[in-house]
Amino acid sequence: MISRLIRLVSRLPATVHAKLLAAFLTIVVVLIMVGTVGLEALSRVNRGAQDLVNLQRKIAAYRQLQHDTTSQLYAVSAALVVPEESALDATLRQLNQFGYDLDRLQFVAKDEVELLGQVRDDYEKFIQVVTRVIDMIREGKAAEGREVQFKEAGPLADHLERLTNQLVNRAEADMLASIEAGQTTYANSRWIVVTIAAASILLALVLGYVISWSLIDPVRHMDQRLQEIASGDFSRHVTVANRDELGTLATNLNRMNDELKVLYEQLEAANRHKSRFLASVSHELRTPLNAIIGFSRLILRKTGGQIPDLQRANLQKVLISGEHLLTLINGLLDLSKIEAGKMEVLPEAVELAEVLDGAASTVEPMLTNGQVRLIREIAPDVPPLYTDREKLRQIVLNLLSNAAKFTEQGEIRVLAWRQNGWLKLQVADSGIGMEPEALTHIFEEFRQVGSSSTLRSRGTGLGLAITRQLVGLLGGEISVQSDVGKGSTFTVVLPIRFNGSKPRG
Amino acid sequence: MPMQKKILVVEDGEFNRDLMLQLLGDDYEVVLAGDGREGLRKAEQERPDLILMDLGLPLLDGWETTRRIKRDPALKGIPIIAVTSHAMVGDESKAREAGCDEYLAKPIDADELMRAIRRFV
């Protein structure tokens, strides 16, 4: 249900901006509804209170009427007993008062027209009767007045009282009904306000949830896709239901994916072509080189003292150049093998000391006679390694040959120790060193330092590039520090146990 | 003096054929062939004691020539050393699969060549 809602919101052909605005407006509308309903309830309560006050007033007026009727009868009776002029005046005044009460009733009880009409009729009669009684008293016909009083005024007063009682009862009933209605209204209003408030909270939660998930979900999908693309997988498209900015983003992501895929395939093809080219070049070069080196050696071997020393030395140079060319070709072949992913790592148990001894014995003949010392120090905590022996040997040999090439005197130190579970291998020389700007390119192909100016630098310019690739194959990294005139230090960090991961491509 | 052992050199490069002849000529009787077909024919005619086989050959490549020699009951006893500039990964195993008994990458080191030959004859 919720997920269907999320999909629905995703598919809405509106911008995220519009969706959020709509959600906020909806919540605001609901809040305004709550306010309106609350205000409406308040005004109803207010009206109820007003009604109650009116009823109260009505009841008071009726009671006043009752009271006045009673006191009228009393006053007339008193006047009959003591027929003084002052008492008679008071009785007449009270009659007038009674008239005012009635006038007041007209305003207070507009809805009781019929009853009020009866009251007024009775009152008119009552006034006539009382006036007659008073006239009789004045004329000294007290007995006659008492007769009229008893026969006509009494029943009229009773009738009046009944009528006013009826009015009071009705008003009281109205008041009770009004109070009850007020309570019902209050309960209803409370229910409506609470319901709408709860609904608005629910609505806000649902809208928030739905909108945020309609945004988060596609973002997550795209993030995952980007990670796949980053790791070289261009096979899939990301599909999101959104037709908003995120939908556009997904479309662009897919377009980028396709572009990258094409580029990547072109690049791969170019790289394969390069590797094939390197392989065939090295193959084709070997054939004539075989003749050059082979014949040079043959001549040197077979001609003893027959050729002049100078020519012999010249031939030696041909041979050395041929061998140099061969090293170069072998290096190219190695690089193309590594780059084509054809170089396999064959891990086995390896004693570092043996590898260092082997490499040192190869390099020692290259060291300037007696001027350069080769020092080896392996910390006792270096455990037996599990790695590719041949590649490790080549790494060490390359670094040592490199150091030997550039060091005329002093020492070459090979240090090995264990650090944070990794093997650290350092080759430090006291040679010519390198300029800082040369260091940034030192591991690139054909970036030989001083190759044009120094006669002794007979390297191929591929040694360090190959070394770096080999270190990468073994799951490690290589770095270099150098000071011009003081020497260079190459540091290799290798896993003690090769575990098949390749941090570099 | 014992009879010299006979070595068939199948090699398409003229200079390299000549080099082989000069390297081996003192100690062995050397027969030369310039392509795979000639190599096969010479193997049948001359019955050499050992064959040095280049792999990238015209007409019939070295792998196929080797396979045919090794299929021939009369010839399959002859040891074949691949001498080739195919030095990529897998080239050696490809050569051995075709039937080569030994594998040497060009350029040839004379001492290494001699050692390899002496292992077989």
Q: Which of B20, B23, B106 to mutate to test the interface with A (most CBs of A within 10 A)?
A: B106
- Give the closest residue to B16 by CA, choosing from A290, A298, A325: A290
User: Which tokens sit at A63?
Assistant: 């009671």
Chains A, B: CB contacts within 8 A come to 61
b/e per residue A437-447 (b: at least 16 CB within 10 A) = ebbeebbebee
Helix (H) or strand (E) holding A424, with range, is strand A422-429
Nearest chain B residue to A341 by CA: give it: B89
Nearest CA distance, B96 vs chain A (angstrom): 19
Tell me the per-residue pLDDT of A327-378, one tens digit each, with 9 for 90 and over.
888 887 777 777 777 777 888 888 888 888 888 888 887 776 678 888 888 8
Q: Kindly report whether the global pTM for this prediction surpasses the value 0.80.
A: no
Cβ of B23 under 8 Å from any chain A Cβ? yes
Q: Is B16 on the interface with A (CB under 8 A)?
A: yes
User: In a 3-state reduction of DSSP, which class is residue A495?
Assistant: strand
Q: In this structure, what token pair is assigned to residue A459?
A: 């390297």
Check residue B89 and give its pLDDT: 58
A164 or A375, which is more confident = A375
Distance set, CA A46 to CA A182, A186, A407 (Å): 9, 11, 104
Report phi then psi at B52, rounded to 5. -100, 120
Beta carbons of A287 and B89 less than 8 Å apart: no
Chain center to CA of A251: 22
Residue B54, SS3? Answer: coil
Q: Please report the pLDDT score of residue A368 as a whole number.
A: 65
Nearest CB to B19 within list A284, A294, A301: A294
- Model confidence at A453, in pLDDT bands (50, 70, 90)? very low
**Which pLDDT score is estimated for A266?**
92
Q: Give the pLDDT confidence score for residue A317 in this predicted structure.
A: 85
Please give the average per-residue pLDDT across A207-211, as a whole number: 89
Tell me: the pLDDT tens digits for A73-107? 777 777 777 777 777 787 777 777 777 777 777 77
| pLDDT higher than 90, residue A223 | yes
**Residues A442/A405, Cβ–Cβ less than 8 Å:** no
- Residue B32: phi and psi, rounded to 5, are -110, 145
Average pLDDT, chain A: 83
CB contact (8 A) between residue B13 and residue A282 = no
- Quick check: A298 and B19 CB within 8 A? yes
- The stretches of A82-112 forming alpha helices (DSSP H) are 85-108
What confidence score (pLDDT) does residue A501 get?
55
Rounded Cα distance, B67 and B98, in Å: 5
CA–CA distance, B33 with B24 (Å, rounded to integer): 15
pLDDT score at B80: 93
pLDDT reading at B1 higher than 70: no
Please say whether the beta carbons of A501 and A475 come within 8 A. yes
For residue range A23-36, list pLDDT tens digits in order: 889 888 888 888 88
Asked if B88 reaches chain A (Cβ–Cβ under 8 Å), the answer is: yes
In the structure, what pLDDT confidence band is assigned to residue A503 with cuts at 50, 70 and 90?
very low
Q: Which of A502, A503, A470 is nearest to A391 (CA)?
A: A470
pLDDT at A4: 87
Res A249 pLDDT > 50: yes
Question: Strand, helix or coil at A455?
Answer: coil
Residues of A in contact with B23 (CB under 8 A): 294, 298
- Residue in chain A closest to B20 (alpha carbons) equals A294
Nearest Cα residue in chain A from B18:
A291
Distance, in Å, from the CA atom of A149 to the CA atom of A237, rounded to the nearest integer, reads 111
Distance from CA of B23 to the nearest CA of A (A): 7
- Give the confidence band of A222 by pLDDT, cuts at 50, 70, 90: very high
The phi and psi torsions of A259 (rounded to 5 degrees) equal -60, -45
Helix (H, G, I), strand (E, B) or coil at B108: coil
Under the banding of pLDDT at 50, 70 and 90, the label for residue A466 is confident
Has the ipTM of the complex gone over 0.85?
no
Q: At what angle do helices A245-302 and B110-120 cross, to 10 degrees?
A: 80
Q: In what order do the strands lie in the sheet with A477-483?
A: A372-378, A410-419, A422-429, A487-495, A477-483
Report the C-alpha gap between B68 and B42 in whole angstroms: 13
Highest mean pLDDT: which range of A146-155, A429-438, B55-64: B55-64
β A487-495/A422-429 pair status:
antiparallel
pLDDT at site A360: 86
- What confidence tens digit (pLDDT) does each residue in A418-452 have? 988 899 999 998 888 887 777 777 787 765 554 44
Q: Which of B19, B20, B93 to mutate to test the interface with A (most CBs of A within 10 A)?
A: B19
Residue B3 at interface with chain A, using a CB cutoff of 8 Å: no
Quick one: which of A268, A273, A219, A256 has its CA closest to A241? A219
Strand ranges inside chain B, DSSP E: 6-10, 29-33, 50-53, 80-84, 102-105
CB–CB of B88 and A297 under 8 A? no
Query: Which percentage of chain A shows pLDDT scores above 70?
Result: 94
Residue of chain A whose Cα is closest to the Cα of B24: A298
What was the pLDDT predicted at A260? Answer: 92
Q: Which residue has the tokens 């270099």?
A: A480
pLDDT tens, residue by residue, A273-310: 887 887 788 778 888 888 898 888 888 888 877 888 88
Task: Give the type of residue at B88.
Answer: M
Contact assessment for residue A314 and residue A308, using Cβ atoms and an 8 Å cutoff: no
Non-local CB neighbours of B39 within 8 Å, separated by 6+ positions: B8, B10, B33, B51, B53, B57, B60, B65
pLDDT for A37-51, tens place per residue?
888 888 888 888 888
Q: Choosing among A283, A303, A325, A326, which should be mutated to test the B contact, i.e. which has the most B CBs within 10 A?
A: A283
* Rounded Cα–Cα distance for residues A260 and A231 (Å): 12
Say if residues B102 and B116 touch (Cβ distance below 8 Å).
yes
Residue partners of A453: CB distance under 8 A and separation at least 6 = none
Q: Which residue has the higher pLDDT, B45 or A409?
A: B45
